[in-house]
């Protein structure tokens, strides 16, 4: 069954732009429920697509970044990544973000796939990438609002911590799922 197809479709009756913030803008969609005709205004966060990278060093370690996340008010350990710039290919964005956040780069890139960031109320997607044999070749080029610590962790420890549920960022959890599925099956 196609998850995008349903004989009774929701109808967007009106769409009104809302405030524009730094990394997203709001949109108000008046929607009609096909089941009962009920109308309600829904909020959609519009945001560019993002990328994250499972970067494995020549020593067999996965690179993570530790950074403060304002939503949870805590530091998280997550994969390097960020927003795809306007007109930029997501593969190029993955390469750029890895080097900006960690100073590392590599040549053996593999696309792990895409997932909706949060389809409940967001319209963007996150593209997952894997790069083999990265090495340090530059200094970090952080945005003024970033404070990022690079952490390298052996692949087997990453796997153990992933299975134990120790990574809390859903984009990191999903990218590692795809990475471990790829390396275990190949």
Model pLDDT, residue 23? 86
pLDDT by 10-residue block (mean), the chain, 186 residues: 68 95 94 95 97 97 96 95 97 98 97 96 97 95 91 97 96 97 77
CA 104 to chain centre: 19
Q: Whole-angstrom Cα distance, residue 161 to residue 163?
A: 5
Question: Which token pair is 116?
Answer: 């909706």
In three-state secondary structure terms, 89 is coil
Query: First vs last Cα of the chain: how many Å apart?
Result: 28
Alpha-helix residue ranges (DSSP H) falling in the chain: 90-102, 155-163, 170-185
Domains and CATH numbers, the chain: 11-46 (no CATH), 50-185 (3.90.79.10)
pTM: 0.91
Model pLDDT, residue 185? 58
Model pLDDT, residue 36? 95
């Amino acid at each position: 069954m196609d998850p995008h197809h349903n004989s009774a479709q929701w109808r967007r009756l009106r769409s009104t732009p809302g405030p524009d913030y730094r990394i997203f803008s709001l949109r108000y969609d008046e929607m009609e429920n096909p089941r009962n005709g009920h109308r309600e205004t829904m909020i959609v966060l519009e945001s560019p697509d993002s990328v994250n990278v499972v970067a494995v060093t020549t020593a067999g370690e996965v690179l993570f970044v530790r950074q403060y996340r304002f939503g949870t008010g805590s530091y998280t350990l997550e994969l390097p990544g960020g927003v795809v710039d306007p007109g930029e290919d997501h593969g190029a964005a993955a390469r750029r973000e890895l080097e900006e956040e960690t100073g590392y780069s590599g040549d053996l890139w593999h696309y792990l796939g895409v997932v909706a960031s949060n389809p409940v109320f967001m319209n963007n997607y996150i593209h997952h990438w894997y790069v083999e044999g990265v090495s340090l070749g530059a200094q970090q080029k952080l945005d003024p609002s970033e404070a990022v610590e690079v952490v390298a962790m052996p692949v087997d420890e990453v796997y153990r911590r992933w299975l134990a549920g120790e990574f809390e960022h859903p984009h990191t959890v999903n990218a590692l799922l795809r990475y471990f599925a790829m390396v275990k099956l190949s």
